[in-house]
Each structure stands twice: as C-alpha cells, then as structure tokens.
Structure 1
Amino acid sequence: MAKPRRNPGPLATLNRVWVLHRPLFIRGFAGVACAALIALSFQARGGISQAVVTMSEVMQGEFAAAGLGIGEISITGQAVTREADIVKALAIEPDTSILSFDVEAARQRLTALPAVTDATVRKVYPDQLTVTLAEKEPVARWRTGDGQTFIIDAAGSRIGTALPLDDKLPLVIGDGAADDASVIIRALQRYPDIYVGLAAVSRLADRRWDLIYKSGLRVQLPETGIAQALATLDGYQRDYRLLDRDLSQVDLRVSGMLVVRPVETAPEDDKAAS
C-alpha cells in the first residue's frame, strides 16, 4: 500500500524556489542594494565629508603632539619683506603637522607678496621648514601726497613700507613720481657732483622734476630736455660751485637760460633793531 504524499513545508518550498530562480533573485537583490547605497550616500554626503575633515584635523593634531609639528622656520633671502608677512603666508597653526603641510601652496602664497619674485619651501624632518626668497631690487623711496613712504622697484611698484634703514635710497616725492623714478635717478647718478647733498626729487603735476637739496636750494628742471639741463647744471657746479652758493632757487626750465635767486637776508637796519 502506497504511503500518502506529504505536502512540502514552507522552508522546502522556499528552498526549491531559490534553487530554480536563484539568478533572478540575485540580480534583484543587487539592484535593490545599489539603489539603497546610492540613496544613503546622497543623504549622508554632508556628514561623511565633515567626518573626513574632522578625522584629518584630529590626525594633524596627533602628529603635532607626537613631535611632528613645525617648531622652527629658517628664512633666507629676505631684505624687504617683513617676517610677519612671511609667517602669515606660510599659514602655520599650532597643530599643523609637517607631514601634511603643503609646501607648494605655501610657495604660491609667498610669491604673491609684493616684493617676492620666487620662493622655495622645504621640509627638514622632524620639525623644520626652510624658506628661501628672491626679492625685487628696491631703487628708491616714494613719499606720497598723504605723507606715507614706500619702497619701490624699477617699474615703480610698491614693494614695501620704508624703514629707517632704507634712508640711503633716493627719495622721490609727489603723485606720479614712482612711475618715472628710475629714469631720473639713473640720469642724476651720471653726475656725482650734483648728486651730492641731494635730499629729494619732487614730481610736479606729473610733468617735470625739481631737485631739492639739504641746504634748502631748489633746482627747477624743464619738462623736456632733462639730460641737457643736468649736463648744464653739472658744468656750472664744476666751474663755479653753483650749488654751494647762498641760493634758494636755480631755474633751468628755459633751454639755454639760467636764472638764480639768492637766499633772502634781513636788511642790516632790521638786524640792528632786533
């Protein structure tokens, strides 16, 4: 007598369905999983990014605490740029690790400083940075109309604030003086006799120059033909010591003509009365 056929249980049925349709189920589950991951990534992107940044900051602090912070900075080639500006450009914080410090980014910030033409930044492990700068050559001091004095290069660009140690540089005064400073300075340096005792060169209406001497003498130069006027002045200085006399003004604005004005003195009667 045949045994009655038993109905398969739910687990057996599920197993049979899995065996028969396993590839289809796998593809379905994979699609659902991918969709879920994509949704979660978009939803949590901000949190994940913040977590990565926070972890990076923590690691930097840990490296710095372990002795891999930046404890010494060596700077060479600096003459015009202030140390405070260099340190600011390096952007070093107390917890900055030398391992993660970006030397190229620091180099770009340094070369953006007004006086710097090139920079090299190197790591010296375990805790030192070496900075080497190449700077523009200062040619003069420029005093603006509001009384500020800057160091300028040959192109007339401001490359720093003038300090007392810059007093040996020629001084140009007035609006527009920086643009043509190198030209007038080179012209004057050809004549050492008239360069002696010169206090400043003043630009007037951005058209012409006056030479101002420490004695108070003012020499008025023409708008054009400056080279000829300087040669004439140099000749008078060599032959007659013109610039050493008691004069308040020498006018060379008209070609071929020299006009001088003596220093005004009080009359004898006024002196006696006083």
Structure 2
Amino acid sequence: MFAVRGDRSGEFAAHAAHASAASAEGVVLPRPLRRVVRFVVSLCSGRIAIPAHTGKVSLVGFYSAIAVYGVVVGGHGPAVSQAITSFAGFAIEDVKVSGNEQTSEIDILQLLGLDGSTSLLGLDIAAARQSLTELPWVESAEVRKVYPSRVEVALRERKAYGIWQHGTELSLIEKSGSVIAPLRDNKFASLPLFVGRDAETAASEVEKEFARFPEVASRIKAYVRVAGRRWDIHLDNGVVVKLPEEGVSDALARLSRLDAEQQILSRDIAAVDLRLPDRTTVQLTPEAQERRLAAVEERRKALKKAGQNI
C-alpha cells in the first residue's frame, strides 16, 4: 500500500489549518486529543507514510484472530496444541515401563492414550498417574517425561496373599484383605484358600496362628470361616479340624501333640472337634464307623460265647 500523497495534500492542509484556527478561536482540545488530531492531520497530509503490505498483514492478523477464537470457543485447543507440538518433534515415540509383573503394557498404553501422535508437551502427568492407579494390580505409579519424545512409567504392584472364595466367585486378596482382582487362571493356585463371609479380612490372623505348627499348616487345603466367628480347617486328606472361637493357639498345640503321639490326622477319620477346651472329639468316616460297629459286634459275640463256655 502506498503513502497517501498528491494534489489534494494542499486541500487537507487547508482543512487542518482551518481546524487549528477554529481551535485557536474557540475550544481548546485536551492534550491527548491534540496528539490524535495532529497524527490524523499528518497522515492525511502525507507527512506520515504507511508501510508497504500493511493491509495484507492486517488482513492475515484479522483472520488469524478469528481462527484462534473459533478453536478456543469450539474446545479444540488441546487437539490443535497436540498436533502442532507433535509436528515440531515432540511426539511420544518411546515408552519405558518397569515394575509391571501382572499389569499388561497394552493396558498401560491405552490408559495413557498414546496413539503415535500424542505430544509429550500435552501429556498430563497427574491425570496419567491417576488413571494408572485405577488398574487392579497397581498400588502406585510414577510417570516421568524425558524430552524430546520419551515417557517413563514405574509401577508398584499389589502383592497377592491368598484366594478368597465368596459364593461361586474366586478373588485374589492382599494380606490386608483388600480384593485385587478375580482369579482367572492357575498361576496363583499355590496360594492359601479362604472361604466364607469375612474370611478375607481375618485371613492373615488365622494363618499367623499356624506359623508355630508347620507340620499341620503344610497339610491345609482351605480355611473355612464359620458364621464370621471361627474357622474350620480342611486338610489335604479330607479331614476337617474344627477350631474354637477363642484359644486357637492352645487348640492347635493340642492337635499337634495328638498327631505326634497318635498320628490322628493320618487315620480314617472325618473330623477333629477342638471347640471345647477340656476335650477332643473325633468323628469317624462312615466306612470307619461301619468297621468299628462290626468290630464291637464281633467282640460282644466273643465275650458272650466265652461266658457260655464257662
């Protein structure tokens, strides 16, 4: 755009002089307005030249402002920022994950929302950390940016302590009793099994009682919670040991002594009842019961026959 010059400059100057004369004769303009008037008069008279391409630059600025306004109002700011920064060389190209024994890397990448064009500058660390802690196995997570294109994820996973059976469902639990996730495979089959309502919260306490009696603990197949008050212990040979509500340690000491002296847990029995502190009740299996009745009957007959002979 060219400077405004030409034959009409004299006419503009005349008008300016007339305005100045009118101002001199009448109202005196304030100082800021006087500067504006002088600038307008100079511009119109051609004493101030307009730089070349000013119109084009103004037009580009106007349309740019409209575009920015549309992006902000439409809520496309994050997407545009991601695209620009990714194009500038900050796209995430490498993700290093550590500490994930049970958590899949695919699940981690999906939660972070990494699709190959995600910008490292646009990655929200706090939101990423919060999303990762919502995974079943993740106890805590740390996410770190390594510029220009790398993300490092360090996980601390929860530790499976046992298997809890509630109804027909099987779940992995922590030592505190918190449920981690449903049991999906046989990877954790060697963990102790706790069955029944409230069994998950009392699991660590009862297992601690058996720590002093490893010869019995090594044979346990399941810990069954009864009425939320006491435990029945199912052994690997099918024998059930009924523990009392209180005095579990004393009852286990009695059981351990009986097994050492009489191998009671290896006999053909169905259950050992330790609920009463002053007695131990042994329940035979149906087959053993039949054999016992037969033996008693034979003995009765033998005694009767011996009495008749006398």
- What is the TM-score when the length of structure 2 is the normalising length? 0.66
Secondary structure in 1 matching 2:233:
strand
Contact 1:122-1:130 at 8 Å conserved across structures: yes
Counterpart CA distance in 2 for 1:190 and 1:84 is 44
Contact 1:170-1:185 at 8 Å conserved across structures: no
Counterpart of 1:49 (choices 62, 72, 92) is 72
Aligned residue in 2 for 1:79: 101
Q: Residue 14 and residue 54 in structure 1: after superposition, are their counterparts in 2 closer, same or farther (change >3 A)? A: farther
Q: Does 1:164 align with 2:186?
A: yes
- Structure 1 stretch 220-229 or stretch 108-117: which is displaced more? 108-117
Q: Does 1:152 align with 2:161?
A: no
Q: Residue 256 and residue 88 in structure 1: after superposition, are their counterparts in 2 closer, same or farther (change >3 A)? A: farther
Aligned residue in 2 for 1:253: 275
Contact 1:193-1:237 at 8 Å conserved across structures: no
Q: Does 1:21 align with 2:29?
A: yes
Letter matched to residue 239 of structure 2 = L
- Structure 1 stretch 207-216 or stretch 94-103: which is displaced more? 94-103
Q: Which runs of 5+ in 1 are unaligned?
A: 1-8, 27-44, 269-274
Aligned residue in 2 for 1:181: 203
Q: Does 1:218 align with 2:218?
A: no
Secondary structure in 1 matching 2:258:
helix
Q: Does 1:70 align with 2:92?
A: yes
Letter matched to residue 258 of structure 2 = Y
RMSD between aligned residues: 3.4
Q: Does 1:265 align with 2:281?
A: no
- For residue 142 of structure 1, report the CA deviation from its aligned partner: 1.0
Counterpart of 2:154 (choices 132, 137, 146) is 132
Contact 2:81-2:122 at 8 Å conserved across structures: no
Secondary structure in 1 matching 2:143:
strand
Secondary structure in 2 matching 1:165:
coil
- Structure 1 stretch 198-207 or stretch 80-89: which is displaced more? 80-89
Contact 2:220-2:235 at 8 Å conserved across structures: yes
Larger-Rg structure? 2
The equivalences for 1:175-214 within 5 A come to 175-214=197-236
- For residue 116 of structure 1, report the CA deviation from its aligned partner: 3.3
Letter matched to residue 202 of structure 1 = V
**Percentage identity across paired residues of the two chains:** 32
Counterpart CA distance in 1 for 2:240 and 2:178 is 27
- What is the TM-score when the length of structure 1 is the normalising length? 0.74
Contact 1:193-1:238 at 8 Å conserved across structures: no
Counterpart CA distance in 2 for 1:202 and 1:112 is 31
Letter matched to residue 95 of structure 2 = I
- For residue 199 of structure 1, report the CA deviation from its aligned partner: 1.3
Counterpart CA distance in 1 for 2:150 and 2:98 is 14
Counterpart CA distance in 2 for 1:173 and 1:84 is 33
Q: Deviations over 1:130-182 (max 9, x none)?
A: 2111233332111112x222221222111223342112221101111111111
> What count of residue pairs does the alignment treat as equivalent?
244
Aligned residue in 2 for 1:238: 260
- For residue 203 of structure 1, report the CA deviation from its aligned partner: 0.8
Q: Residue 229 and residue 13 in structure 1: after superposition, are their counterparts in 2 closer, same or farther (change >3 A)? A: farther
Q: Deviations over 1:222-274 (max 9, x none)?
A: 11111111221222222222222222111111112211122222969xxxxxx
Contact 1:119-1:132 at 8 Å conserved across structures: yes
Counterpart CA distance in 1 for 2:234 and 2:190 is 16
Counterpart of 2:133 (choices 90, 108, 111) is 111
